[in-house]
Structure 1
Amino acid sequence: MEELKQFWGHGAAKAWERFGEGMFKPLAALVILAMAILMSYLQKLDLEREMIYSIMRSFLQLSLVGFILEFIFKQKNPLWIIAIYLFMVLVAGYTAGKRAKHIPNSSVVAGFSILVGTFLTMNLLIWLNVFPITPQFIIPVAGMMVGNSMTTTGVTLKRLRDDLRTQQNMVETALALGATPRQAIIRQVKKSLVIALSPALDNAKIVGLITLPGAMTGLIMGGQSPLKAIQLQMVIMNMLLGASTLASIISTYIICRFVFTKTYQLKTEILVAE
């Protein structure tokens, strides 16, 4: 707490001054938002308020995160890194779980899967000495992994739930013939994983040909050599795909405990229509 008081007493004022000096470009970019709002109005899309709300919310969130990271980057206490990481996992688990709201404890399943998948990937990268254990590296890297794992896990759970509902007879027939819950839904599991991971795989195929990813673009715009930027991007792509795959697969193993009753029947919550 003493570190926090010192930061808000002295460092926050300097951080705010630097923040204000760099606001010209973000404010100038609002011209693009105004154009989008105008187009929405002319086309009668009724999205003007949503656009304004979204951009204001993102501005406030990013500003708050900026000040928090400014403080954390000056500290050497690893507890701050752990706290930020767990908060990101908590939010990601809740968000991914909402995609499959008809699955009991979907947020818990998603959160635990994301936690395990990203934790294992992060520790492997640290063990291989790919990234140093500093807030400047760990927090952004963890954020990217958690965000991508959230997307793939959410899609996996939602698709799996939809297939279980529409293919109830197939699943219960397999159970009646002696299949275990995992064996009974293996076809639906594979399909949901393929669908969830396909966008990441397609993205990896066209990177550099169509898109220049954010990390690579940021380094190049910051004056780094394109070759160094490419090397970092290769690491990030492998990292994101690995964490997302782990999290998604783990979620399909855990979900068997929540979609079946003790008598090996699909729970009624799963079968409810949207």
Structure 2
Amino acid sequence: MTNVDVSYVSLLLALSLVMVAVVISSKEKLGLTKDIVASVIRTVIQLTVVGYLLYYIFNLDNVLMTLTMVLIIIYNASRQADKRNPNSKKKFFQSFLAIFLATSLTLLVLILSGAIKFIPSQLIPITGMIASNSMVAIGLSYREMNSLFRDQRQQVMEKLALGAPVKLASASIVRQSIRTAMQPTIDSAKTVGLVSLPGMMSGLIFAGVNPIFAIKYQIMVMFMLLSATSLGAVIAVYLSYTNYFNDRAQLDFEEEKE
């Protein structure tokens, strides 16, 4: 196994590359300078804290602590997905339920099939991958749905006026929102190994693991991500599209003011 140690000098040189983004943001007046600086600070703090916490949990190997960590990951992913929803009538439980079900069902299949074991060193990292990808997909679906309801407002109102139920009037918007959410994961699966080199597979091979094992593990990861993003997007969209209507089945669209 190869031992890699990143020096503090290397970290500082890598940090200097972030200044490129800061300079671009400042020069082009993108308004992202504060966000970039905040993200750098949060990255250092969060990874340091979580790194030591995971080291403790992995060595403790406690079921309750493992499940608590899993729930914390799902909660944080749900909170971030909910923040990306521009709808002023959004409900947090919709994001939480979507990510919780997508993550739980995927983990259950992986554990029952023997692909992973119910141990913190496997369960927690896999949960993070599933929840983070579901978070991104659901966030995309929310933004796409909000945009489509704004752009197709007249068409939806016409369908309602002709007697169409809310579900039928929103069908095309729901389908497009789900497609938009799933597309990045599908594109990633199409180009994996050709455009992007999978981090997990490369890491395992780099660590000296048998390439066949690394390949099978990466295939499993891609399958679970496709499953989780599709489940999460479908559940989130079908739970949240009704937020754009009132109790009398009338379109009640109001975009959140930022």
**C-alpha RMSD of the superposition:** 2.5
Asked if the contact 1:100/1:154 (under 8 Å) is kept, the reply is yes
Partner-residue secondary structure (3-state), 2:60:
coil
Gaps of 5+ in 1: 1-21
Q: CA deviation at 1:105?
A: 2.7
Distance 1:224 1:105, change over 3 A: same
Q: Distance in 2 between matches of 1:234 and 1:242?
A: 12
Q: Distance in 2 between matches of 1:71 and 1:37?
A: 34
Partner-residue secondary structure (3-state), 2:219:
helix
Partner-residue secondary structure (3-state), 1:263:
coil
1:120 is matched by which residue type in structure 2? L
2:19 to 2, 24, 37: 37
Asked if the contact 1:213/1:233 (under 8 Å) is kept, the reply is yes
1:208 to 187, 193, 209: 193
Q: CA deviation at 1:36?
A: 3.9
Q: Distance in 2 between matches of 1:48 and 1:167?
A: 34
2:213 is matched by which residue type in structure 1? K
- Superposition pairs for residues 138-149 of structure 1, below 5 Å? 138-149=123-134
Q: Distance in 2 between matches of 1:155 and 1:165?
A: 15
Gaps of 5+ in 2: none
Distance 1:64 1:27, change over 3 A: farther
Q: Name the counterpart of 2:117.
A: 132
Q: CA deviation at 1:27?
A: 4.3
1:205-262 superposed Cα distances (whole Å, 9 cap, x missing partner): 1111121111112112212122221110000000011011001001121114422111
Distance 1:151 1:49, change over 3 A: closer
Asked if the contact 2:102/2:229 (under 8 Å) is kept, the reply is yes
Partner-residue secondary structure (3-state), 1:29:
helix
The share of aligned pairs that are identical, in percent, is 31
Q: Distance in 1 between matches of 2:160 and 2:209?
A: 57
Bigger Rg over Cα: 1
1:25 is matched by which residue type in structure 2? S
Q: Distance in 2 between matches of 1:39 and 1:251?
A: 33
Q: Distance in 1 between matches of 2:187 and 2:94?
A: 26
- Superposition pairs for residues 1-274 of structure 1, below 5 Å? 24-25=6-7, 27-37=9-19, 40-41=22-23, 44-45=26-27, 51-270=36-255
Asked if the contact 2:198/2:218 (under 8 Å) is kept, the reply is yes
1:158-184 superposed Cα distances (whole Å, 9 cap, x missing partner): 111111122112112222223221211
Distance 1:160 1:233, change over 3 A: same
Asked if the contact 1:99/1:158 (under 8 Å) is kept, the reply is yes
Q: Distance in 1 between matches of 2:181 and 2:254?
A: 23
Asked if the contact 1:125/1:131 (under 8 Å) is kept, the reply is yes
Structure of greater relative contact order (alpha carbons < 8 Å, 6+ residues apart) = 2
Q: Distance in 1 between matches of 2:135 and 2:122?
A: 20
Q: Distance in 1 between matches of 2:88 and 2:113?
A: 37
Q: Distance in 1 between matches of 2:80 and 2:237?
A: 17
1:91 is matched by which residue type in structure 2? N
Q: CA deviation at 1:111?
A: 1.6
TM-score, normalised to structure 2's length?
A: 0.88
Distance 1:202 1:268, change over 3 A: closer
Q: Distance in 2 between matches of 1:209 and 1:238?
A: 17
TM-score, normalised to structure 1's length?
A: 0.83
Q: CA deviation at 1:52?
A: 4.6
More displaced stretch, 140-149 vs 61-70: 61-70
